[in-house]
Every structure is written in structure tokens, then in C-alpha cells.
Chain A
Amino acid sequence: MDAIFIIEQILNGLGYGLMLFLLAAGLTLVFGIMDTMNLAHGSLYMAGAYIAAQVHQASGSFVGAVLAAIAATVLVSWLLEILIVRRLYPRDHLAQVIATFGIILIADDGVKALWGPSPLLASMPTALAGPVQLLAELPYSAYRLLLLGAGLLVAAGLYLLVNHTRIGMLVRAGASNRAMAELMGVRVDRVFSFVFALGAALAALAGALMGPISAVQIGMGEAILIPALVVIVIGGIGSVRGAFIAALLVGLVDTAGRAFLPPLLRAVLPPALAADLGPALAGIAMYLLMAAVLILKPAGLFPARA
């Protein structure tokens, strides 16, 4: 295991972590402020990926495809909020989970009706399909570098928005003590509509960017929702900073589990057993991390609520 191998895997882990962060940021704010569990967040991610793949194929412009995906998904989320999610605020968590799970099923069938059951093949923009010579011995995928850059840029933007603007202050106030913020005259429902749309935009961006290196298919939203939930639990519900740190941690642990565990196991165990055990252990690494964090800090790393 040489340095190049480790550097490459750290880059992979950070890239995956940043994409998880885009998804988790919206989820954690929605849950933190309105105490509303929105399982359909993954469906917005799926919508972003499908729309981007479709527009990219039709127009040939990748930037245009990403922007179109964000715009269309925000529109969908706005309708979703007005028609359904708004009615769920006063209900308990079970009702929210059941209703938003229903939305997942409808979204999956809707996508099947629109695009058919077969996965779409989203392609990378041709300019970025090749490698970039990062170090002397490390060519690295240009597209993955773009993901890293985009993820960091969005994280910085969110930091400025949440910590240094008036709307960000209202968002934080709503997350830390909603009743108090309302008494002080903040119209939390409006703040929430804004946050819901922002979350949808981030989910669509993640979907559009992840499309070319994952499969654009029905159920992709559910598959990534689970690590995103793990991220917000580790980070502390309602905290964007917590989601950022936790997303990077989960990304690194998941990649490390896949990259370093199998070779280590092969060194000490017979190959057949290592082949069975390696992927299984790598699959649970993220949950072990969550369990460890929850034992030490039951409210997550950076709880938003005092």
C-alpha cells in the first residue's frame, strides 16, 4: 500500500462525502427546523439525475443540463411542499414517514411511466471524460475533480449563507428553537419554504453530478437516502456544519472500508473467506461509525438544538 494509493482513496472518499453533504444539508435543515421527516428527499435527487441526463442527451450542454435539473426540481419541490408536505407539519413523525414514503412510491412509478423501467445512461461531458495528471504517478479522473470542486464551492456558499446573512440567521434561529423564533416575530413557515426549495436544489445538483458516475435508475434515491440519514444523525440534526463534517467522515470511512479492508483481510485470511467477509464488513463500516459517535455524543457531533 503506497502513498499514491492512499492519496487516491482519500480523494475518492472526499468526493463521495461532498456529494452526500449536498443531499444531507437539505435533509438536516428540513428536519431541524420543522421537525419534519422527509423521506422523499431521495426522490428529488432522482428527479435531478433524470432531468439532467435527459437534457444533456438532448442539448449536449452539461452546464445547461445541471441548471435545468435544478430549476425543474425546485419547481417540483415547491408543488410538493404546497400540496402535501405543508399538511404534514402538525402531524407526528410516523404520519410524516408514511406519507413521504408514499411519495417515494409515486415518484418511482412516475419516473417509470415517463422514462421506462430501464436505467438511463448518463454520460460525462466529453471534455472531462479523460484523466488529469495530478501527481507524477497519479492520473485522476477530471470529472471527479469537478465533483470535488463543486462540492467544496457549495459547502463554502452554504457556510456564508447560513452564518453571515439575515436569512441564514433566521434559519439557524428556527433550527435551534422554533417556538422562540416564532414569538420573536420570525415567520418560520416562510423560512421553511425557502429551506425546502434550497434542499431540493442541492439534491438536484447532487443527482445531476452523480448521474454520470452512478446509474440513473429508479430507486437511486432510496439507495443514497440511507447514507444521507446516517450523515445527519452523526452530524447532529439541524446542523449544516455537523452534516459537512459527518458527510466527509462517512465518505472516507466507506471508501476506506472498500479499499483497505479487503487487501488487509486477504493478508490474514484464506482468499475465499476474505472475499466474503471484506465487502460485508465494508458495508457496515459506516454504521459502526454511527454507533460509536452515538455512544459518545448521543445528540450527534454538533447538535443544533441547545
Chain B
Amino acid sequence: MLKLKNAALLLALCGTLNAHAAEPATPIKVGVALDISGPFATIGAETRDGLNLAIGQLGNKLGGVPAEFLQTDFAGNPEQANQLVNRYLQRDKIDFFTGPVASNAALAVGPALFAAKVPYLSSNPGPSQFAGKQCNPYFFGLSYQNDTYDEAAGKVANEKGYKNMVLIAPNYPAGKDHLGGFKRFYKGAVKEEIYTKVGQIDYAAEIAQIRAAKPDAIFFFLPAAMGINFIKQFVAGGLKGIPLIAPGFSADQDIIQAVGEPMLGIYNTAHWAHDLQVPANAEFVTAFRKQYEGRYPTVYAAQAYDVVMAMDAAVREVGGKVNDREAVLAALKKANFKSVRGAFNYGPNNFPVQNYYLRLVEKDAKGQLANKLVATVMEKHQDAYVGECKM
């Protein structure tokens, strides 16, 4: 009799335990490593604003399940990013990861995340390594592959008939991807290929080199503060007559706002523009400008917004069971969300097959400087590394 009573008690106990297990004990945790300070700080701020807009619209939920977004600054330092990711993995047991702006940070944190089976949805960098030989089912290059913006820019340079060009980029993995991508499509001569320090702010030596080389045009990949300083000093150095052509990163809203008038007339390429005619995009741009004092969003904000929406769709697809990582990966790969760039498809290496557009910095109806979409350069373009990826 006593035994029976005990068994009943045990059963009751199990019942309460089960009841607890059924409702999610902890919210879904998303680890976000941000570049709020450091060489990519202006981009980090855009990433944060894009993420927070989406998080707000979803009411701090992913797929209807409460979610917690851990946001920490790592100052653009890959070593610090690594420490942060280890903390996220071991202490916070995150379910998703996103955030870093630069490829060196993405390459540094990738292996630990993949080993821990945490999906990494990139809100910006698309290093060639992760698109090719080191591709991984846990990495989603939701944004773009580094070389692709520049491949489109190379095509534009050919169309403009530039025969002699100087190329300039910071000396880090993405810098090499970007110039490599440009050279893959550009058919003219490369007079100088200049690599500078990451985070360099004084470009006097490089400007003298450009003056001496007398190129038809310059292709420059210098994101964030680097681009701001380069263009200001380029104008101050009296080189304004030489046309500048750029991947979108060197002429996006963060740089336009800081530099002002000298940006007018710079052609740049991107997979997205604020005036791209897609319903989801119109909604996003209106909401962004409403929340952030009329400011136009950048590519970075658009990508960050897409990242949260992609997570949301995947969590909904698996019914909130984020511990079933195989199912989460399959759901992420489906990419069943309304991207602000229109229809969204991954290629076999988890990098998007998408259009690339030509944008031109102009004044809008209210006299505010902004990029205007002028043409489609490439349609349904996939990166050059997809063949090297064995997944």
C-alpha cells in the first residue's frame, strides 16, 4: 500500500516535471556581437538599428516564441569577438548568432560556432573562405559574398570605358576579396593596387600615389570611417576631377551623411537600395525612417533586418523547437521570409543568388543626399567560389 502511494507520488511528480518541460523554460537566445566602437563603428550602429527595428516589430519574439537578444560591443577586434562568442556559447547557451561587421571577425568566430552547432546568420560579411573551401551548413551568408559587389562594379567600369584604374582597399581578408572580385570582371589595366592598414585614417601618402599614377578612375573599398576620411582628404588634396567608383560600402548612407556634398555623383553597386520596388522594402524603409529621425537606412541595416526576419521564419517553421538543429538548418535554408531585396534564394554554399544594382548618389526631393537606384547590373548572380564548396 505504501509502495502504491509512493508510486502515485512519483507519478504526480513526473507529471509536474513534464508540464514544466512542455513550456519553454528559457527564451530563445540570440547572441549578437556588435561593432559599436572600433574601425567599423558607423556600420555597427546601422546593424544595431536594423536589428532593433525588426526585434521591435516582432515584439521580442521569434516565430511567436519569446526571444532574448544579447547585444555586446566587441570593438571590431577579432580576438575580443572570439572571447565574446565563447561566453555566449558556454554561459548563455545561444541558439543563433549574428552581428560582426568585418570578415576577419567572422572568420575568427566561425569555427567555435560551427563546432557548437549554432547557426551563424551573417548580417554583413561574406568571406570567400566561407563561400568556398571552408563552407559550412551552420553558416548562412544572408547578405552577399564579398567579391560580388565588386564584380558588379568591375562590369560598370568596363561599360564606362575606364582603361587605367587605381584600386585601394584595407589589408584584411575582405579587402583582398573585394579587389579580387573587381579584377575578375574589370578588363582594363590596373595601374596601382594599394593596400592600407585596417582603420587607417590618414591617406596623404596614398593620395600622392594616386596623383602620380594619373588614373582614369579609382575603385575604392574603404568602409566606415576609412571611407569618410579618404573622400574628405581626396577632395582636400584637389583630386576631385578623378571619377570614383565603389562597392556600396564605400558610398552608403553612413558615409554620405558624414562627408556631404563631395559624395554627389559617385557610382556604387549593391544588392539592395532604399528605393528598390519591393513591398517588404517599402514597409521597411518607411518604418526605419519613422523610428530613426528621417534617416535613410543603409545596406547594413537592411541586412540586419533580414537576418531577424529569417530567424523568425525558421523558428516558426520548426514550431519553436530550436534544439532540433537539423530541422532549424533545413528551415533556415528554405528562407521562407519576405526579404527586403525581394525573392530570396540560397545557392548550394548558403550564399544568396541575387541581383546587383547600380546606385548613384543624388539629392532627393527634399535636398537630402541619398543613393538612387539607376540600373540592374547583374541578375541572379552567384559568387565565384560556389564550386569549391563541398557540403
Binding site for B on A (CB under 8 A): 1-2, 4-5, 8-9, 12, 15-16, 112, 117-119, 121, 124, 129-131, 133, 138-144, 213-215, 217-218, 255, 258-259, 262-263, 266, 271, 275-276, 278-279, 283
B208, A259: Cβ atoms closer than 8 Å: yes
Taken residue by residue from 117 to 154, chain B's Cβ proximity to chain A (1 for < 8 Å, 0 otherwise) reads as 00000000000000000000000000000000000000
Residue numbers in A under 8 Å from B84 (CB-CB) = none
B45 at interface by CB-CB < 8 Å: yes
Bound: A112/B75 CA distance, A: 12
Contact of B212 among A5, A16, A119, A278 (CB under 8 A): A5
Residue numbers in B under 8 Å from A142 (CB-CB) = 236
Contact of B201 among A4, A16, A215, A263 (CB under 8 A): A215
Residue numbers in A under 8 Å from B204 (CB-CB) = 8, 12, 15-16, 141, 144, 213, 255
A12, B37: Cβ atoms closer than 8 Å: no
CB distance from A108 to the nearest CB of B (A): 10
Residue numbers in B under 8 Å from A213 (CB-CB) = 201-202, 204, 229, 233
Mind listing 26 A-B residue pairs with CB under 8 Å?
A1-B212, A5-B211, A12-B205, A12-B208, A117-B36, A118-B37, A118-B41, A118-B45, A121-B225, A129-B235, A130-B235, A130-B238, A131-B236, A138-B211, A140-B237, A141-B237, A213-B202, A213-B204, A214-B201, A215-B199, A215-B225, A258-B205, A259-B208, A275-B176, A279-B195, A279-B197
Residue numbers in B under 8 Å from A144 (CB-CB) = 204, 236
B258 at interface by CB-CB < 8 Å: yes
Residue numbers in A under 8 Å from B209 (CB-CB) = 5, 259, 263
Which 3 pairs between the two chains have the least Cβ-Cβ distance? A139-B238, A131-B238, A117-B37
Residue numbers in B under 8 Å from A16 (CB-CB) = 202, 204
Chain B contact patch, size range = 35 or more
Q: A139-B238, A140-B237 are in contact. Are A8 and B211 (CB under 8 A)?
A: yes
B228 at interface by CB-CB < 8 Å: yes
Residue numbers in B under 8 Å from A5 (CB-CB) = 208-209, 211-212
B92 at interface by CB-CB < 8 Å: no
Contact of B73 among A2, A8, A117, A271 (CB under 8 A): A117
CB distance from B345 to the nearest CB of A (A): 33
Highest count of chain B CB atoms <10 Å: which of A140, A215, A271, A279: A215
A139, B193: Cβ atoms closer than 8 Å: no
B194 at interface by CB-CB < 8 Å: yes
Kindly identify, within residues 343 to 371 of chain B, every residue whose CB is under 8 Å from any CB belonging to chain A: none
Residue numbers in A under 8 Å from B238 (CB-CB) = 130-131, 133, 139-141
Bound: A106/B137 CA distance, A: 44
Bound: A119/B235 CA distance, A: 22
B212, A129: Cβ atoms closer than 8 Å: no
Residue numbers in A under 8 Å from B194 (CB-CB) = 262
B171, A275: Cβ atoms closer than 8 Å: yes
Residue numbers in A under 8 Å from B233 (CB-CB) = 141, 213
Tally the A-B contacts, defined by beta carbons under 8 Å.
104
Chain B residue, CB-CB nearest to A210: B202
Chain B residue, CB-CB nearest to A137: B211
Residue numbers in A under 8 Å from B176 (CB-CB) = 275
B93 at interface by CB-CB < 8 Å: no
B42 at interface by CB-CB < 8 Å: yes
Q: A215-B229, A271-B193, A279-B171 are in contact. Are A141 and B236 (CB under 8 A)?
A: yes
Residue numbers in B under 8 Å from A279 (CB-CB) = 171, 195-197
CB distance from A106 to the nearest CB of B (A): 17
Contact of A275 among B42, B193, B211 (CB under 8 A): B193
Bound: A23/B120 CA distance, A: 45
Bound: A1/B73 CA distance, A: 44
Residue numbers in A under 8 Å from B36 (CB-CB) = 117-118
Residue numbers in B under 8 Å from A117 (CB-CB) = 36-37, 41, 73, 75
A139, B195: Cβ atoms closer than 8 Å: no
Residue numbers in A under 8 Å from B193 (CB-CB) = 266, 271, 275
Kindly identify, within residues 180 to 225 of chain B, every residue whose CB is under 8 Å from any CB belonging to chain A: 192-197, 199, 201-202, 204-206, 208-209, 211-212, 225
Bound: A278/B192 CA distance, A: 13
List 4 additional A-B contacts (Cβ < 8 Å) besides A12-B204, A119-B225, A213-B201.
A5-B208, A141-B237, A262-B194, A263-B209
Bound: A118/B46 CA distance, A: 12
Residue numbers in B under 8 Å from A143 (CB-CB) = 236
CB distance from B336 to the nearest CB of A (A): 35
Bound: A218/B75 CA distance, A: 10
Bound: A43/B382 CA distance, A: 48
B333 at interface by CB-CB < 8 Å: no
Highest count of chain B CB atoms <10 Å: which of A117, A139, A276: A117
Residue numbers in A under 8 Å from B155 (CB-CB) = none
Residue numbers in B under 8 Å from A278 (CB-CB) = 195
B232 at interface by CB-CB < 8 Å: yes
Kindly identify, within residues 64 to 98 of chain B, every residue whose CB is under 8 Å from any CB belonging to chain A: 73, 75
B42, A118: Cβ atoms closer than 8 Å: yes
CB distance from A129 to the nearest CB of B (A): 6
A218, B37: Cβ atoms closer than 8 Å: yes
Bound: A214/B201 CA distance, A: 5
Chain B residue, CB-CB nearest to A129: B236
B236, A124: Cβ atoms closer than 8 Å: yes
Bound: A266/B194 CA distance, A: 10
Chain A residue, CB-CB nearest to B226: A215
CB distance from A211 to the nearest CB of B (A): 10
Kindly identify, within residues 22 to 45 of chain B, every residue whose CB is under 8 Å from any CB belonging to chain A: 36-37, 41-42, 44-45
